Amino acid sequence: MPQSTHETRAAPVRVACIGECMLELSAAEGKPDLRRLGFGGDTLNTAVYLARIGIPVDYVSAMGDDPYSQRMIDAWGSEGIGTGLVQRAAGRLPGLYIIELDEQGERRFFYWRQQAPAREIFSNERTDELCTKLLNYDWLYLSGISLSLYGEAGRERLFDLLRQFRAKGGRVAFDSNYRARGWPSVEVARREIRDQMGLTDLVLSSIEDETGLNNVRNAEEACDFIHGLGPRLVVIKQGGEGCMVSVDGRKTHVPPVKAAQVVDATAAGDSFNAGFLAARLRGADTAEAARLGHRCAAIVIGHHGAIVPRDAFRSGLGEPAI
């Protein structure tokens, strides 16, 4: 029988980002007393930038049935993000946060989110169906903020999913993104985040998170500590100092990309994560992946809000991105 001359192409890697997106009120450019309505959330920010780089990605969350929820879902779809796993809850509203900036562009957040339906995706009547669907992805991406939403029962259901997912060959990426206000105590956060790291292949953390949670003194110690929990690939973001990448304990410092201007540091880490993961999914080595992450972050911090204009991001990144 003659052999086919058609080239066999591998199916694209499928990524699902899990978490919460909220309405965002940020300072209007040039008008500090006015607020611009947008949306953001750490894992959603990463999903947006993954999609803009060209990685197939779906978002996993729950929203209300109000017009603001619909506007957000429509906006995600316009970015190329899959929304088929976004649950809708009748009579509920999404969370909201306000960003306040200081003169250096550093930010403080104020939240209204306790009743947001995103908190219940691993503890409602649709959880089993959701988990079954998530087993079909190649990568799952979540954060410490994601973990803080779900409560003990929800986190245990999530951890059970991740065990099944990895047993089937799936990979997990996790940003510790520790925010004390979201947890009952630092002890609970420390325990749950460490348990999560034991179910993770790629950790994307920061020196601030690791010193606050694990009392490490520097990025090298942070990498060694996290490797001890199981992950083989660890990235410790260090802000203006770049990042430390460690593969099975072999560490490399990757310097930052200088930003043209610093306006707002919101989503710098989230966009870095998107660049790093996208590059790795396309076969780049870890140093090259970190450089793309730094390029993404340098663009994002030059604009207000978590999600920067699409044209500005793409033109800043250049084509092709990788």
* Catalytic residue (one of 264, 270, 285, 311): 270
Q: What does the H/E/C string look like for the chain?
A: CCCCCCCCCCCCCCEEEECCCEEEEEEECCEEEEEEEEEECHHHHHHHHHHHHCCCEEEEEEEECCHHHHHHHHHHHHCCCECCCEEEECCCCCCEEEEEECCCCCEEEEEECCCCHHHHCCCCCCHHHHHHHHCCCCEEEEEHHHHHHCHHHHHHHHHHHHHHHHHCCCEEEEECCCCHHHCCCHHHHHHHHHHHHCCCCEEEEEHHHHHHHHCCCCHHHHHHHHHCCCCCEEEEECHHHCEEEEECCEEEEECCCCCCCCCCCCCHHHHHHHHHHHHHHCCCCHHHHHHHHHHHHHHHCCCCCCCCCHHHHHHHHCCCCC
**CB contact set of 245 (below 8 Å; sequence gap of 6+):** 233, 234, 235, 251, 252, 253, 254, 286, 287, 289, 290
102 noted as active-site residue: no
Measured distance CA(192)–CA(77) in Å, rounded: 32
**CB contact set of 107 (below 8 Å; sequence gap of 6+):** 99, 100, 101, 264, 265, 266
Name the residues annotated as catalytic.
270
